[in-house]
Amino acid sequence: MADLSRVYDVLVAGGGNAALCAAITARQAGASVLLLEHAPRAMRGGNSRHTRNFRAMHAAPEATLTDSYLEDEYWDDLLRVTGGETDEALARMTIRASSGVLGWMGDCGVRFQPSLTGTLSLSRTNAFFLGGGKALVNAYYRTAEALGVDILYDTEVTHLAMEDGFVRMVELTCHGFPETARAKCIVVASGGFQANLDWMRQYWGDRVDNFVIRGTPYNRGRVLKDLLDQHVAPVGDPTQFHAVALDARAPKFDGGIVTRLDSVPFSIVVNRAGERFYDEGEDLWPKRYAIWGRLIAQQPGQTAWSIFDAKSTPLFMPSVFPAISADTIGELATRLGLDPVAVQSTVAEYNAACRPGAFDGTKLDSCRTEGLTPPKTHWARPIETPPFSGYPLSPGITFTYLGLRVNDRAQVLMQDGKPAANLFASGEIMAGNILGRGYLAGFGMTIGTVFGRIAGTEAARHARN
């Protein structure tokens, strides 16, 4: 039973993967642990419950991972997506620690499955969770409870009272009532701030009203902002976020993975004026999907429409919502709420510009347009086979990049470069140290697991001393 009058060894703020890994590890090291999750029990687990996989270094086939994936290749992949906005020492440490952690996850009840259809390219690098992130989170909660971690749901950490880099006391609201808690060490694992639309509005203005947040509404950056206001060193660009093209019919929060749309490379994408605005076939989709959220965010009304014909329908994983279809382009445009004349003209111009080529949806093929602005450089085939279909698209925000600076012991660093005395961080709240830009599939869970375990170990050790 959680007891707020007690001084715990370790208090963990957050209830997703990073928090659970920290809490379990600290408890396994003998510390008394209190975990505070803002969400109610039924919604526990943050964005981690929407995840599917974990990127792991391995020298030989392991669990469901095939072949090998060694440090230098992993590091090259990370360097490419971040464009160098990463701390090499922390990144390499994370990569190395990702090998061997699958066993610990298994001991905590996490099970793996072969990679899903449509994600086979990840079978070598990424371990998929059987039952997805929700099963992983449930397994970790079961383990934490069995070990004796005390857990409070519906409990928001509102303020960490710091003095000279030492957290004296934690202020919180528990089921809406103000309370305080004390602990020798604190681990913050409360995610990014993407669900705080007022904070996002500072950088993006009223466009945020048309953004969709793919994950939990509870990641509002309250702890992050509180610590940055108390001279903790920031990391990452506050204006930047990871965003994908999402079905515009998705709920404002928590739609998860099933509302993502991968139709773009096999379609043309038009804005509210019925005009194309970017090369839909610029590169292979895994290398381009993450730019489309931002591209759509820059269009009028932050909306776009992906339009394709019957040839393309089987080529991508559909959204959970059915495509809107019609027998003619004009009728489809009307159903999508677009000007039929404008869309007919855009499609006619595009069709006329398509050059014959050998279509191959799995690689950069020779089907391209000629004399069209913007061009479509691959997978360009005339849209001429009914039924014609379309999806409305919105920017779907996955996470923000702003975070807390940490060292290799997961200690939070103050603006003067010194570590805070009893404060550690793990997961999205510090991921910007390693992932300053871009994204590598499965790496969010790797950072949270590795740093969660380091933070748990270090906090438990520190509390004992």
- Residues within the interface to ligand FAD (CB under 6 A): 13-19, 36-39, 45-48, 50-53, 156-157, 189-191, 214-216, 218-219, 222-223, 256-257, 398, 427-428, 442-445, 448
Contacts (Cβ under 8 Å, ≥6 apart) of 362: none
Which lies closer to ligand FAD via its Cβ, residue 354 or residue 425?
425
Cβ–Cβ under 8 Å, residues 56 and 101:
yes
Three-class DSSP category at 340:
helix
Cβ–Cβ under 8 Å, residues 213 and 397:
yes
What tokens were used for 341? 């004349």
CB of 171 to ligand FAD, least distance (A): 10
CA triple 205-439-373, angle to 5 deg = 65
Backbone angles phi, psi at 359, to 5 degrees: -75, 130
Q: Which of 192, 139, 116 is nearest to 401 (CA)?
A: 192
Cβ–Cβ under 8 Å, residues 460 and 30:
yes
CB of 170 to ligand FAD, least distance (A): 10
Q: Which of 410, 420, 413 is nearest to 164 (CA)?
A: 420
CB of 333 to ligand FAD, least distance (A): 30
Which lies closer to ligand FAD via its Cβ, residue 251 or residue 374?
251
Q: Which of 27, 22, 25, 21 is nearest to 8 (CA)?
A: 27
- The alpha carbon of residue 179 and the mean position of all alpha carbons in its chain are separated, in whole angstroms, by 31
CB of 458 to ligand FAD, least distance (A): 17
Three-class DSSP category at 11:
strand
Which lies closer to ligand FAD via its Cβ, residue 199 or residue 350?
199
Which lies closer to ligand FAD via its Cβ, residue 413 or residue 445?
445
Which lies closer to ligand FAD via its Cβ, residue 157 or residue 413?
157
- What is the CB neighbour count within 10 angstroms for residue 351? 17
CB of 296 to ligand FAD, least distance (A): 17
Which lies closer to ligand FAD via its Cβ, residue 208 or residue 347?
208
What tokens were used for 300? 């009028």
CB of 36 to ligand FAD, least distance (A): 5
CB of 83 to ligand FAD, least distance (A): 19
Radius of gyration (Cα) for the chain, nearest Å? 23
Q: Which of 405, 19, 438, 411 is nearest to 191 (CA)?
A: 19
CB of 225 to ligand FAD, least distance (A): 10
The length of the chain is: 465
Which lies closer to ligand FAD via its Cβ, residue 141 or residue 379?
141
Amino acid at 353: A
Which lies closer to ligand FAD via its Cβ, residue 150 or residue 282?
150
